[in-house]
Structure 1
Amino acid sequence: MTAEDEALAALQASALLDVLKWGAPVSFEATDQLYDEDQGHDQGVVGYLNFKHLQDLIDRATSNGRFKLGEGLDSLGGDVLKRGITPQAFNAMPHLAAGVVVRRDYKQSPGWAVEGYRVLLQSYPFGKVDDIKWVQRSDAKRRVADQLFVGDNTLFSDEEFGLESIPGIPDDDDFSGVTLIAAHAFNPTTKQFELYIGQSKNPEHVDDSCWHWKKLLLSGGTPTGGTGLPVAPTMPSGGASTDVEDVPVRIKRTGAGEGSGAANG
């Protein structure tokens, strides 16, 4: 079994993959409702909104973040979970038992972990999943792309590399395992979108890939120049986030009827 197969199997067994594939289109549709080019919204705004929407939806489905259960509670009421999303989105939401997926942030970058794997989010311009320059992203994303890749069916000893844990990020005391990236993109003009999962890499040479491996989870939308909301995504059998740092962006309403709102990458 390859490193990719093992990672995907673990994420599928925990249903975290289901949460990502549910949350991404819901996030993009929410962003589409707020995006307004006439108010100066650009790719940075799109990436920020997608990030914040997706973060909230993952927390919602996994009982983390502001949806974390209080002591003595088995679940949150539907009135709480339904706030801020459409009835259709709520009805389609995977319902994971609390504790199956836990928050394991890295250097202030939100992360969600299952046994042996953690997922961080990154936005990118649609169609540019192979052009992400991790050294230009946040310190967290740069360090994640530097983590050791244990190749297919290859075993290494700690002594060979002088690391306390293989694989993983040596300076991360809160999580031991492989950190992956869920890369997401949405074009509000064409309504095209895509979602990838993979292990990022800082290339050693100009022609090297920025991924050890990546898997397309979702793609959809109308053709270039088309209109309308995102269509049902396709799920391949077989990339990712706007080039936006993890910094806050604030969007204000400028008047009645002028839609914009706030919802990070």
Structure 2
Amino acid sequence: MTEDEKVISDMTEGGIIVSLRWAVTSAHARAWADFDPETGHNQTVLGIAAHTLLADRQDRAFRVEKYIAKEDARDRDVLLAGLLPPERASMPTCLGVERADLNNSPAWRYRQYRWFLTSFEYGKVHDIAWGRKSPTKRKIAAQTGSDSPDQFVLPGTYERRIGEVLDPVTLGELLAANERNSVLNIVLAHSLDAHTGATELFLGRPRLNVGGGKPWVWLRSLLPGDGGNGLGIRTDASQPTAPARGADVPDAPVRLRPRIAGQEPGAESAGR
């Protein structure tokens, strides 16, 4: 069994995969429903909303952070607050996961697997340049391992933007981190198309792709509705968990006062 097969198998058995599917469906549907280009929203607004909501939905499904199960009558209300009825009905319960943030980068851990969030431009999951990500993501992508010895890089070999200063990841740091840490750091990558609402969701082991190399040691789609193409793309933007963007809202009911015989229209209001 290869590493990716074992990861997917273990996380499926533990209920993690179904929880991640629910989380991204809920988060992306709500972000898409609230997205309104006519009011000035752009791809950045949509991306931030989707990313923030995906972290929140994972916390709910895994009962961590402010959603930790308590012996309190209000506990259920807090857990379900802000969710639509279909989201509430379909939300899974998955225990055994803990928050495992690193350097303020949100992460979740199940057994020996810890996953971080990253977003990417829709359709370009294979174009991610880890050298341009945060220091935490760069170090994760630079982790060594028997399955990918070519991941190992020396300081100063990162891709750089003009004027960007990158902190060095030394050879000693990488070796020490791998010796003391048996946790497999992986990445949950998601994307939401601003034009169609289509969703992409992947789980993979990143590879620091210096000079434009491959960004993944392995990458697996988590969406069952991608038509079997393995691309991680869900093309139906009509999510059942949130109202469609731009849906018509019924007008508020208006009660008209009966006109008094002989009174000119508007006379009542004019006399106020």
Q: Same fold (TM over 0.5)?
A: yes
Contact 1:183 1:197 survives alignment (8 Å): yes
Render the CA deviation track for 1:218-250: whole Å, top value 9, x for unaligned.
Answer: 23134xxxxx63479xxxxxxxxxxxxxxxxxx
Contact 2:130 2:209 survives alignment (8 Å): no
Contact 1:10 1:114 survives alignment (8 Å): no
Contact 1:43 1:125 survives alignment (8 Å): no
Q: Report the AA paired with residue 7 of structure 1.
A: V
Give the Cα–Cα distance (whole angstroms) in 1 for the partners of residues 52 and 193 of structure 2.
16
Quote how far apart the aligned CAs of 1:75 are.
9.6
Give the Cα–Cα distance (whole angstroms) in 2 for the partners of residues 230 and 89 of structure 1.
11
Give the Cα–Cα distance (whole angstroms) in 1 for the partners of residues 59 and 214 of structure 2.
31
Give the 5 Å matches for 1:67-86: 67-70=67-70, 73=71, 77-86=75-84
Contact 2:141 2:206 survives alignment (8 Å): yes
Choose between structure 1 and 2: higher helix proportion.
Answer: 2
Q: How many residues matched? A: 208
Give the 5 Å matches for 1:207-246: 208-218=213-223, 219-222=233-236, 229-230=238-239
Unaligned runs of 5+ in 2: 149-172, 224-232, 242-272
Q: Residue 188 of structure 2: SS of its match in structure 1?
A: strand
Compared with structure 1, are the counterparts of its residues 220 and 230 closer, same or farther at alpha carbon in structure 2 (3 Å cutoff)? farther
Contact 1:3 1:150 survives alignment (8 Å): no
Partner of 1:255: none
1:102 to 89, 95, 98: 98
Give the Cα–Cα distance (whole angstroms) in 2 for the partners of residues 75 and 111 of structure 1.
29
Over aligned residues, Cα RMSD in angstroms?
2.5
Quote how far apart the aligned CAs of 1:78 are.
2.7
Q: Which fold has the larger relative contact order, with Cα–Cα distance below 8 Å and residues 6 or more apart in sequence?
A: 1
Give the Cα–Cα distance (whole angstroms) in 2 for the partners of residues 75 and 96 of structure 1.
20
Give the Cα–Cα distance (whole angstroms) in 1 for the partners of residues 140 and 85 of structure 2.
36
Percent sequence identity over aligned pairs = 27
Q: Report the AA paired with residue 27 of structure 1.
A: A
Q: Residue 197 of structure 1: SS of its match in structure 2?
A: strand
Unaligned runs of 5+ in 1: 153-160, 223-227, 233-265
Give the Cα–Cα distance (whole angstroms) in 2 for the partners of residues 166 and 75 of structure 1.
44
Give the Cα–Cα distance (whole angstroms) in 2 for the partners of residues 190 and 13 of structure 1.
33
Render the CA deviation track for 1:91-124: whole Å, top value 9, x for unaligned.
Answer: 1111123xx0000001111111011110111111
Q: Residue 183 of structure 1: SS of its match in structure 2?
A: strand
Give the Cα–Cα distance (whole angstroms) in 2 for the partners of residues 60 and 88 of structure 1.
15
Q: Residue 195 of structure 2: SS of its match in structure 1?
A: coil
- When normalised by structure 2's length, the TM-score is 0.70
